[in-house]
Amino acid sequence: MSTSLRPLGPLLGAVARSAAALERLTPLLRTDPPWRRAWLDRLAVIETAGAASLHSGGPVLPDDVRDVDHAIATGPRARIIHGVRALWRVEAERRPLEVDLPLLLDALGRTVEVAPDRLVAARLTSGQGAAAAYIPNPVERAATLVAFAEDLEDLTGGLPALPAAAAVLGAWAERGCGPIATGCWIAARVLARRQRWTLTPPLLASGFLAHGTDYMPRIDNGDWVIALANAVERAVNRAIALFGSMERRFLALDTAPGARRADVLSAVRTLARGRDSFDAVDIARASGAPERTARRHLETLMTAGALQELTGRKSYRLYGL
């Protein structure tokens, strides 16, 4: 149903709530605390899980992404996760600029270059997954991408942030441009430009975790704008909560009792401020301490509330703020 033909109350309410959440996030994005990179990396882990879930049509959890990050998961799904993760590893160093054709092709290339398996690469480039159309002919797909890049300004011109992002994803899906992750990445950049942010936080696909059936992008559709607004609101509220919890843990690193080796504590601080997760081997390598010593210190810091264990398993533990 066109946005012009449906009651505007629910649509305006969803957009207003999401816009208010975005405004609450803005001050945090303008700060530069020591844990900023770790926070953005954790958001990227969750975003990757959301995008990979939409790709595969099945659940992918942040724990699955961490297993790929630490090379303890293999197979086709792991390569898809790795490909999606590549988008946001690069995005962490970029500022929100115009989305032009060279940037778009670079993003698609990074998504598939780490997935050498022919079947996996074909799935990524075709955009197969929940509610995703695709163009199987590479020449036709290239022409579609050129047209999409040229039309992007017309698609989003004059629209506020959330309707603009919805229009981008609607056109991306209906034209069959490519993988869902890349479409969400483009829409996130459009959202960041509209908000006048200095970076692009990963806050689109992650909002559909546990709500994958809501991901049905369509052009000029009020229900889709509502679904996207709700997803962004969920993602932003999660990001704000994570910022606060990671801040509390980072500050607790300075006062945590029992961390007797300064070299181990220094290694923990360095890794904790820059990464979503790390293990005892990472700390041992960074500090030169035995792995058993590193593990003991990590457990002490976790008990003191300065770190959390992110996997919930005993066999292989990952830690982070």
Q: Which residues of the chain have pLDDT under 50?
A: 1-5, 112-134
- Specify the pLDDT at position 59: 86
CA dihedral over 236, 240, 245, 250, signed as positive or negative: positive
User: What's the gap between Cα 211 and its chain centre?
Assistant: 15
pLDDT tens by residue, 307-321: 999 988 878 899 999
Is 1 inside a domain boundary?
Answer: no
Distance between CA atoms of residues 2 and 29, nearest Å: 34
- Specify the pLDDT at position 105: 66
Are 156 and 89 within one domain? yes
Q: What CATH number has the domain bearing residue 30?
A: 1.10.3290.10
- Specify the pLDDT at position 14: 95
Are 46 and 181 within one domain? yes
Please provide the average confidence, as pLDDT, over all residues in the chain: 84
Q: What CATH number has the domain bearing residue 285?
A: 1.10.10.10
Do the beta carbons of residue 89 and residue 95 sit within 8 Å? no
Do the beta carbons of residue 214 and residue 230 sit within 8 Å? yes
Distance between CA atoms of residues 64 and 73, nearest Å: 8
Q: Which residues pair with 308 in a beta bridge?
A: 320
Domains: count for the chain: 2
pLDDT tens by residue, 172-225: 888 877 778 888 988 999 999 999 998 899 999 999 998 988 999 998 899 999
Angle at 118 between CA 117 and CA 120, to 5 degrees: 65
Q: Note down the domain range covering 238.
A: 8-243
Distance between CA atoms of residues 119 and 115, nearest Å: 9
Output b/e per residue, 156-168; b: 16+ Cβ within 10 A. beebebbbbbbbb
Are 71 and 184 within one domain? yes
Of the residues 195, 213, 243, the one at which a domain ends: 243
Are 121 and 159 within one domain? yes
Which residue, chain included where needed, has tokens 């099945």?
A: 58
Is 108 inside a domain boundary?
Answer: yes
Distance between CA atoms of residues 61 and 209, nearest Å: 8
Task: Name which of 187, 201, 295, 289 is nearest 240 in CA terms.
Answer: 201
Distance between CA atoms of residues 175 and 147, nearest Å: 10
Q: Which residues pair with 319 in a beta bridge?
A: 278, 309
- Specify the pLDDT at position 152: 86
Do the beta carbons of residue 192 and residue 201 sit within 8 Å? yes
Q: What is the DSSP letter of 217?
A: -
- Specify the pLDDT at position 125: 46
Are 36 and 151 within one domain? yes
**C-alpha Rg value of the chain to the nearest Å:** 20
Give the three-class secondary structure for 320.
strand
Q: What is the DSSP letter of 277?
A: -
Do the beta carbons of residue 86 and residue 114 sit within 8 Å? yes
Are 194 and 279 within one domain? no
- Specify the pLDDT at position 129: 41
Q: What is the DSSP letter of 48?
A: H
Distance between CA atoms of residues 91 and 81, nearest Å: 16
Distance between CA atoms of residues 276 and 46, nearest Å: 10
pTM for the whole structure? 0.87
